[in-house]
Structure 1
């Protein structure tokens, strides 16, 4: 069965009937001092074919609400009051055996990170068949046919082959499509999508949103969309609930919420959303000295083994990239996963071998061995996940001071004074220096990582997706901090991101990458205001617009995933030449479109 073949609505359904209602739901966690509410007095009704967005920052209670609906709350968390009714049945009062029959069949859920939801030791096909047979009395052959139809419905390339593959063999976008296929295979009444596009590239995000829209239109499925991305809310939602600290602060039609928000929190949330094209044109700065220059940078990884143990294939992660980051500027690298952005960051940090030349603060480097401790002092890196970048066993003050210890800079009192000054500079207090990473929010942990990167007074900071996982308001505060540091300290940023709106708000110059090569490069105004390459235009067109009234023009749907950078060793890719179309605006002569 494909989406096109699915019934518009179930036979017993009226077009506007209420399929799910939540009344006075309160969810509490058991603590040593008693029950503490996490979500309080939540109420809403969901109609067939409707999309309800639940928006808010991390910790607002969005996901806890959805887990309560699914009956998947942790052992120490339970619904203390209220009701969750599906076709008149209160799901909160059902025993687990009956709830298990409903879960996946009548109410399905797509989680944010598909790798934590898919079994890594089972093929995609086996997992789909298992889910289908758990709810419907089908033979294995019939379940396999249903699974294949579900993969075709989500427009996954080579669906027959995907059934035989394991989750780790698929890209992030492919895995998310598998999760959607698993959810729709049983044609549920309600689909809960919990941050389904947060970690996806902008083009893959566009495909996933299109799929959800198709599902709603062609199968009559009601969708609860949980997200902090207000652009996604504007494009998908009929109605919006805004949550803060476990409570509903505002709700209403999407158009009203965006056009005339009543609550200060909603207004702050919307004001923090980056919007492409809103940044005014700026005069180009005078010529500045270079801090980092890449000349014909190439990074390859050999994979596969032939009969004699020789590599048969090669990953062309970075293929002849040349660029220049100047003092006090933000140079952004944008592109989809696998284009080589993060590989360039790791190369500058000395983490992978390379060919070509890297020049940092006047030092020319021709191999990984040339990247010495002195070079690393001038080029620091801030990673995407601050929780993974901070040792949970160390106090944050010691983590920030650690680079000073490694480089033998200052006495213990001098180091402590430096750490105190940096904490205040990044918006944290001196009293927090003795705490551990788990005692901070995601935005605060990222500020700690920024302080650690600044402690050696580097000339270049490589920010690798450093704000992509943050709530929109936290993201705005961190970006403002980076701008202030750039202006006050003269530090340069190599800013790596797949979020085009964030790049438009923050960057001075931009390079668009695809499969290890640069497709277009120039000032922010040149690349985003007058894109010449078809790939750049495709990326820009896929950016969600935070305006419910915006009508997105129809475009051809992509039939396959981004091509792979893995090629046979005897089949290297063609190097693309960049031509100047005026004012230093460089465009590849040919390439993907």
Structure 2
């Protein structure tokens, strides 16, 4: 058992599910599911997309979509069947006694209300507190999930926060009420490993203090191994296997469970990096800076500046995968957008030998042919009103390449390359699974035969088996087309399995860079070591050494106007392995 895991409580279960069947029309989405959940216990529900994990949690919460309903079974809580209760009786239970953290925070947070207003509303809806007391608890909840400048965040709107920060707001909202049962639906998918480690520690603290029972829905088997007491494995709406965590990992009985565990990316020693031939770089960055002004006060003057990217220099070589890792808000995605010409920058960026500065509209369009992006959420990147064949052919239409017949042939060929049937060209995005939609996005990125593809968290939301297939596809395409990738991720195990070279970013700057073997096999910067040490290990027998919990204010890239961040210099410690050395305090 992992160090610090609370033991499950004894006695009557706090929640019992008996023969639960959830259907849409006559088609069952979950069929005959039964389990008990004890106080202080963590039950993990795992399985691929469409297996019924999230539908089960929505049924427990009484939040099923209009056309979906529970057709059989019971959900017993405090001796009452939640499925039989009217909405008026469910309302005080939902959120206060049984809380839920959803995977996609932007759809759970109200975009027209500030973060503070939503936190205060959630607290006062279940506890009779004065507004000032509720606000103080909201600040404490944000600090507990390590959000920088918690007081200031209360006045911000969800769109002003990164995806990882929005997820932390949702977790803070649930933890503030100290529920009896907390359902976590992929709660750490959008979080980097260090914040994930802190959130998992927070969930354990909550269990120790209140005896809260957890239902953990996730595709991260490392998180399952570290957190769960018992596991339920689901496939096509049915439980195919269940039992104590140790026995499931050590001797899985079902072939489906064995396949899931085999697809989990695992950390090694960084060995086996593929040597990349020296050639003129596909992309060259020198002293790149990206900042954003923040206005405030009655006159809306610039008072602060976000130092998103600070003095970054790097090269991406032909045929290599260069990975950038770091926490949310460190500047990874901003740097990627600067390379793609999507945000203004200072310094020098060169793609395929052409500098981005001073480009005409025609020059910027040409750069788009050389650089393409694959985003984290494929559904948000695909127009739901267009057929997927038209979406893949759209870049060819924009650049005036080929006749309609030639574009159709090119699209069919791209579908072959990414492993999708040609007869699906006329379907719409909602008719595909998450992994298939990501393959469509990859096909669209390949349409213009780019030299560089930027993968911005492109596999973080996928199930482990789908993730393994997409990563294998990226490697196949790299070998076939000689592509270069800028691979942005917070999943260190995935990065170690796909990257040739790695750059570690912290507060907008590169603090360590080198080959995969150098960074993972011999990490030198304290931040790099902290990232690697925080990675969940998919082994229930692994004992994590106790580590000091972070305290104090979280460092922020937001500084007052006139104050610059501490600039670091990179020293070569051998073989091109560069590590940051501080040059001193903040400049003026």
Q: Same fold (TM over 0.5)?
A: yes
Instruction: Decide whether aligned partners of structure 1 residues 368 and 265 sit closer, same or farther in structure 2, where only a CA change above 3 A counts.
Output: farther
Instruction: Decide whether aligned partners of structure 1 residues 537 and 75 sit closer, same or farther in structure 2, where only a CA change above 3 A counts.
Output: same
1:20 aligns with 2:11: no
Q: Which residue is equivalent to 1:381?
A: 373
Q: How does 1:106-255 map to 2 (within 5 A)?
A: 106-124=97-115, 126-137=117-128, 167=158, 172-255=163-246
Q: How does 1:335-484 map to 2 (within 5 A)?
A: 335-367=326-358, 369=360, 371-484=363-476
1:447-468 CA distances to partner (integer Å, 9 max, x unpaired)?
1111111122221111111111
Instruction: Decide whether aligned partners of structure 1 residues 85 and 275 sit closer, same or farther in structure 2, where only a CA change above 3 A counts.
Output: same
Instruction: Decide whether aligned partners of structure 1 residues 404 and 123 sit closer, same or farther in structure 2, where only a CA change above 3 A counts.
Output: closer
Helix, strand or coil: the match of 1:212?
A: helix
Instruction: Decide whether aligned partners of structure 1 residues 102 and 468 sit closer, same or farther in structure 2, where only a CA change above 3 A counts.
Output: same
After TM superposition, give the deviation of residue 309 of structure 1 in Å: 6.5
Q: Specify which of 35, 40, 49 is matched with residue 44 of structure 1.
A: 35
Q: Specify which of 566, 575, 581 is matched with residue 583 of structure 1.
A: 575
Instruction: Decide whether aligned partners of structure 1 residues 147 and 363 sit closer, same or farther in structure 2, where only a CA change above 3 A counts.
Output: closer
After superposition, the CA RMSD in angstroms is 2.7
Q: Which residue is equivalent to 1:294?
A: 285
Instruction: Decide whether aligned partners of structure 1 residues 478 and 174 sit closer, same or farther in structure 2, where only a CA change above 3 A counts.
Output: closer
Q: Which residue is equivalent to 2:303?
A: 312
Contact 1:29 1:37 in 2 (8 A): yes
After TM superposition, give the deviation of residue 320 of structure 1 in Å: 1.6
1:571 aligns with 2:587: no
Contact 1:519 1:591 in 2 (8 A): no
Instruction: Decide whether aligned partners of structure 1 residues 143 and 314 sit closer, same or farther in structure 2, where only a CA change above 3 A counts.
Output: closer
Contact 1:511 1:522 in 2 (8 A): yes
1:284 aligns with 2:279: no
After TM superposition, give the deviation of residue 535 of structure 1 in Å: 0.8
How many Å separate the matches in 2 of 1:365 and 1:160?
39
Q: Which residue is equivalent to 2:316?
A: 325
How many Å separate the matches in 1 of 2:447 and 2:127?
60
After TM superposition, give the deviation of residue 270 of structure 1 in Å: 1.0
How many Å separate the matches in 1 of 2:397 and 2:143?
56
Q: Specify which of 53, 56, 61 is matched with residue 65 of structure 1.
A: 56
- What stretches of structure 2 of length at least 5 have no aligned partner? 1-5
After TM superposition, give the deviation of residue 352 of structure 1 in Å: 1.5
How many Å separate the matches in 2 of 1:334 and 1:45?
39
Q: Which residue is equivalent to 1:92?
A: 83
Contact 1:156 1:560 in 2 (8 A): no
Q: Which residue is equivalent to 2:484?
A: 492
- What stretches of structure 1 of length at least 5 have no aligned partner? 1-7
Helix, strand or coil: the match of 1:483?
A: helix
- Of stretches 355-364 and 578-587 in structure 1, the one that deviates more from structure 2 is 355-364
How many Å separate the matches in 1 of 2:132 and 2:299?
41
Q: Which residue is equivalent to 1:275?
A: 266
How many Å separate the matches in 1 of 2:154 and 2:340?
38
Instruction: Decide whether aligned partners of structure 1 residues 447 and 577 sit closer, same or farther in structure 2, where only a CA change above 3 A counts.
Output: same
Contact 1:297 1:354 in 2 (8 A): yes
Q: Which residue is equivalent to 1:526?
A: 518
Instruction: Decide whether aligned partners of structure 1 residues 464 and 172 sit closer, same or farther in structure 2, where only a CA change above 3 A counts.
Output: closer
Contact 2:9 2:40 in 1 (8 A): no
Instruction: Decide whether aligned partners of structure 1 residues 185 and 299 sit closer, same or farther in structure 2, where only a CA change above 3 A counts.
Output: closer
Contact 1:353 1:368 in 2 (8 A): no
- Of stretches 180-189 and 159-168 in structure 1, the one that deviates more from structure 2 is 159-168
Q: Which residue is equivalent to 1:78?
A: 69
Instruction: Decide whether aligned partners of structure 1 residues 416 and 239 sit closer, same or farther in structure 2, where only a CA change above 3 A counts.
Output: same
After TM superposition, give the deviation of residue 419 of structure 1 in Å: 1.5
Helix, strand or coil: the match of 1:288?
A: coil
After TM superposition, give the deviation of residue 433 of structure 1 in Å: 1.5
How many Å separate the matches in 1 of 2:125 and 2:502?
50
After TM superposition, give the deviation of residue 545 of structure 1 in Å: 1.0
How many Å separate the matches in 2 of 1:182 and 1:272?
33
- Of stretches 250-259 and 311-320 in structure 1, the one that deviates more from structure 2 is 311-320
Q: Specify which of 242, 247, 255 is matched with residue 264 of structure 1.
A: 255
How many Å separate the matches in 2 of 1:374 and 1:166?
36
After TM superposition, give the deviation of residue 487 of structure 1 in Å: 0.9
Q: Specify which of 294, 299, 305 is matched with residue 303 of structure 1.
A: 294
Contact 2:429 2:437 in 1 (8 A): yes
How many Å separate the matches in 2 of 1:231 and 1:426?
28
How many Å separate the matches in 2 of 1:155 and 1:296?
30
Instruction: Decide whether aligned partners of structure 1 residues 369 and 159 sit closer, same or farther in structure 2, where only a CA change above 3 A counts.
Output: same
Instruction: Decide whether aligned partners of structure 1 residues 465 and 173 sit closer, same or farther in structure 2, where only a CA change above 3 A counts.
Output: closer
How many Å separate the matches in 2 of 1:307 and 1:24?
60
Structure 1 length as normaliser, TM-score? 0.91
Contact 2:164 2:190 in 1 (8 A): no
Instruction: Decide whether aligned partners of structure 1 residues 94 and 297 sit closer, same or farther in structure 2, where only a CA change above 3 A counts.
Output: same
Size of the alignment, in residue pairs? 578
